[in-house]
Structure 1
Amino acid sequence: MEYRHKTSRSPRKFKVVVSAKKVLFTVFWDKEGVVHMEFLEQGQTVNSERYISTLRALKLRLRRVRLDKDSILQHDHACPHASRQTQDALRQLELTTLPHPAYSPDLAPSDYYLFPQLKKYLKGHHYDNNEEVIADVHRWCRRQPSEFFADGLHQLVKHCRLCVDRDGDYVEK
């Protein structure tokens, strides 16, 4: 709502440049780089069934790209991650998870490190379709050196220490 004098002209409306719609994706990464990523089809949401399918694909990918290295997953308490079906699937797939306190986005490396960097890169770009966005995200991830990903995980240690020092209170930056 806008208040103005009766004789004032209407505000100018700017033409919006049409770009691709929002593209959602799930990404798993470690100190060496991106291990697995999946993009969500337009109009779909992540539920337990979808997340379990992603975990199965991740397990296969881990066998191929990380060979026999131990893997520990750290994810938040979003409903699909915390559901009984997902927890059963994690046990069945023998995927170890790092506990994550509820409502702690400051302890999710993708939230405080990877996604902000990716958003900074994508800002100002306009895409005609989702495939262009997906291709650009893949390109960006491949161009990041392993030091980039290692830095993100080193920051996790710092964030955890701050969280412990503050008795679990939220750590902004």
Structure 2
Amino acid sequence: MLTPFDKQRRLQTSKDFLELVGDNIDEICDRIVTVDETWVHQYDPESKQEFMQWTKKGERPPKKFKVQKLASKLMATIFWDSEGVLLIDYLPKGTTMNGQCYANLLAQAREAVVQKRRGKLSRRMLFLQDNASVHTAPVSRQALKDTGFGN
């Protein structure tokens, strides 16, 4: 939860950013590439249509139990820009996201930019990511520079 100080600092930072970009907001937004990770839970709930079955007149339908999520889940890493999704990668089961894995993803994301957004790399891209430990690992920082995503 943000403290009042943090909220005020975010507000001021946002105002400073808007003042800095001025009338170039569209050009700046077109240069931003964002990455985030999320867990994707794997389960296939039965729809009402699939659950329906014939019963005799006056007979009660079988009781439907609440569907619970299975324990299976995948980590999805998504890269996108103002035009849409650039890359979605699913971390293989049993694999842990680390600096080297993230560095490899950055190389794949760069290739996706080359393929899907011709000319975008020639403009200085602005890369937006959180400060997760894999994002700040030395190998990740070097990969950011090598791919052109780094400042």
TM-score (norm 1): 0.44
Q: Please state which structure has a larger fraction of its residues in strand.
A: 2
Task: Indicate the structure (1 or 2) with the bigger Cα radius of gyration.
Answer: 2
Q: Say which structure, 1 or 2, has more relative contact order (CA 8 Å, 6+ apart).
A: 1
